[in-house]
């Protein structure tokens, strides 16, 4: 695989690269929608398939199993197969599994399809950061990686808003097929709008001939690839970004995942609950974009991470504390701050993953390891928050769990700052 980083590009080439990079981001959003599509459909699935709460919980977590077990390994496959090819294979897998889903009337097979969707999501998500790096200039890279960070919150917001509004009109099989159609459309867009691996290699040659600065790295063989995987797992940089992502994702997923349950006892209407929940998830997008802009302006990434963790801790405390009575509007504003300022964290970490990867050919494995640890955090965070809420008889001590995660995140941010200073 040839990786291109040019310091000089023609204006048209830069614009084409940004358009292609935005298509890659859109592909990430379409893949993330398959992760998020289940939550609003659970009541319908339980009615039609007779699922228990335990089975529904396993369906929710099954899509994370692939990320928990195979993240770094899938990153290795992305490097071996080629970044665009890997992304297209993942989209194809999502189309097939989501198309077959409505034909299933057995919980075990649906569980298998959810796990298969998890593999497809990984195959799409892993190569995105490396592909964006090859498509845009070094100047645009921090911002575009911040844009890439919106994939999960945007997909979550779209699913939480669209599900309650569309499912009563189309039922869940059509919801599944809609997601399959979106992924099929994205595959066609990637085929036509993102240069192939060979085309990017030719562009690299042209850039070198014109005097631009070009960084090349050939696609490694399997032995070299396994060496890159071993180097990733034995280097401090990938561990730092991966653990930081885990402590961020665990608390954000827990709060967003339980938000419908928290609002269930309120007297708000169904549509208003859906809008408020989706808006809370969508607020995270603002933080991701702000992180990209701040990094592009030279603000140290570790400082942006620290801002994110501090604001998440304060936001969660104001949202859930029970020491004094606060207006509901103020608590919701604090929740929006929790989600929005938390978006500074993934927006920074994707940029840091590129910088702290132990080599050019280890970017996908580094992002894979980061995603693997993130999935572990998302898998562990909600049960921990639920257990604390059960012991406390309510959600008033949720801030203690999130605050602990933020404290660890701050310590990891300091370690990242020291490592960047040494490099």
pLDDT at 273: 79
* Rounded-to-integer distance, Cα 399 and Cα 358, Å: 36
Give the per-residue pLDDT at 205.
52
- Measured in residues, the chain has a length of 423
The answer to the question of residue 359 being in a domain is yes
Flag whether 6 is in a domain: no
* 39 in any annotated domain: yes
For residue 311, being part of any structural domain is answered with yes
Closest by alpha carbon to 66, among 90, 45, 43?
A: 90
How far apart (Å, rounded) are the C-alpha atoms in residues 78 and 91?
13
Q: Tell me: the pLDDT tens digits for 245-294?
A: 999 999 998 888 777 667 766 677 777 877 888 899 889 999 988 998 89
How many domains does the structure of the chain reveal? 1
Place of tokens 């979550």: 156
Q: How far apart are CA 152 and CA 148, in angstroms?
A: 9
Tokens of 193: 């709008």
Whole-number pLDDT of residue 387: 85
Report if residue 5 sits inside a domain. no
Closest CA to 152 of 68, 9, 36: 36
Say which residue the tokens 């892993």 belong to: 126
Q: How far apart are the first and last CA of the chain?
A: 25
Q: How far apart are CA 363 and CA 229, in angstroms?
A: 10
Q: At what angle do helices 42-49 and 151-193 cross, to 10 degrees?
A: 80
DSSP for 219-277, written as a single string: PP-HHHHHHHHHHHHTSHHHHHHHHHHHHHHHHHHHHHHHHHHHHHTS---HHHHHHHH
pLDDT on residue 94: 96
- Please report the sign of the dihedral spanned by the C-alpha atoms of residue 152, residue 94, residue 72, residue 293: negative
Listed as ranges, residues in the chain with pLDDT below 70 are: 1-15, 53-58, 61, 66, 70-72, 74-80, 105, 197-225, 260-261, 264-266
**Token pair of 294 as six digits:** 């701040």
Q: What is the CA radius of gyration of the chain?
A: 21
Do 408 and 247 form a contact (C-beta atoms < 8 A)? yes
**Is the residue at 177 inside a domain?**
yes
Q: What local confidence, expressed as pLDDT, does residue 54 receive?
A: 61
What pLDDT, on the 0 to 100 scale, is given for residue 232? 84
pTM of the model: 0.75
CATH number at residue 19: 1.20.1250.20
Q: Which domain holds residue 56?
A: 11-422
Q: Has residue 21 been placed in a domain? A: yes
Residue 3 lies inside a defined structural domain of this protein = no
Q: What is the pLDDT of residues 402-413, one digit of tens each?
A: 999 999 999 999
């Amino acid at each position: 695989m040839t990786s291109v980083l040019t310091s000089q590009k023609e204006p048209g080439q830069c614009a084409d690269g940004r358009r292609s990079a935005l298509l890659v981001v859109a592909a990430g959003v379409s893949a993330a929608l398959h992760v998020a599509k289940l939550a609003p459909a659970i009541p319908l699935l339980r009615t039609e398939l007779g699922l228990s709460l335990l089975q529904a919980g396993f369906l929710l977590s099954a899509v994370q199993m692939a990320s928990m077990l195979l993240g770094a390994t899938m990153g290795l496959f992305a490097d071996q197969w080629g970044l665009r090819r890997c992304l297209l294979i993942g989209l194809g897998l999502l189309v097939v599994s989501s198309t077959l889903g409505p034909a299933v009337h057995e919980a075990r097979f649906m569980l298998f399809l959810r796990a298969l969707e998890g593999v497809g999501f990984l195959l799409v998500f892993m190569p995105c950061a490396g592909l964006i790096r090859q498509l845009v200039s070094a100047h645009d890279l921090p911002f575009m990686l911040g844009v890439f960070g919106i994939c999960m919150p945007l997909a979550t917001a779209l699913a939480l808003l669209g599900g309650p509004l569309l499912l009563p009109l189309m039922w869940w099989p059509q919801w599944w097929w809609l997601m399959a159609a979106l992924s099929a459309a994205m595959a066609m867009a990637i085929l036509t709008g993102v240069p192939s691996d060979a085309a990017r290699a030719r562009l690299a040659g042209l850039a070198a001939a014109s005097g631009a600065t070009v960084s090349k790295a050939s696609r490694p063989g399997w032995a070299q690839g396994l060496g890159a995987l071993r180097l990733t797992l034995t280097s401090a940089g990938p561990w730092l970004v991966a653990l930081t992502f885990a402590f961020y994702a665990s608390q954000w997923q827990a709060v967003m995942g339980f938000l419908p349950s928290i609002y269930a006892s309120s007297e708000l209407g169904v549509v208003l609950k859906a809008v408020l929940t989706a808006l809370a998830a969508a607020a995270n997008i603002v933080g991701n974009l702000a992180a990209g802009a701040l990094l592009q302006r030279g603000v140290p990434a570790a400082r942006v991470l620290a801002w994110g963790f501090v604001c998440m801790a304060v936001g969660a405390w104001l949202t859930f504390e029970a020491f004094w009575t606060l207006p509901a509007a103020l608590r919701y504003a604090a929740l929006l701050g929790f989600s929005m300022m938390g978006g500074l964290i993934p927006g920074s970490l994707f940029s840091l993953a590129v910088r702290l990867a132990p080599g050019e050919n280890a970017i996908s494995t580094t992002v894979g390891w980061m995603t693997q640890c993130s999935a572990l955090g998302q898998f562990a965070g909600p049960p921990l928050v639920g257990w604390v809420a059960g012991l406390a008889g309510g959600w008033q001590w949720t801030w203690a769990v999130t605050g602990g995660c933020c404290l660890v995140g701050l310590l990891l941010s300091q370690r990242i700052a020291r490592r960047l200073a040494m490099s």
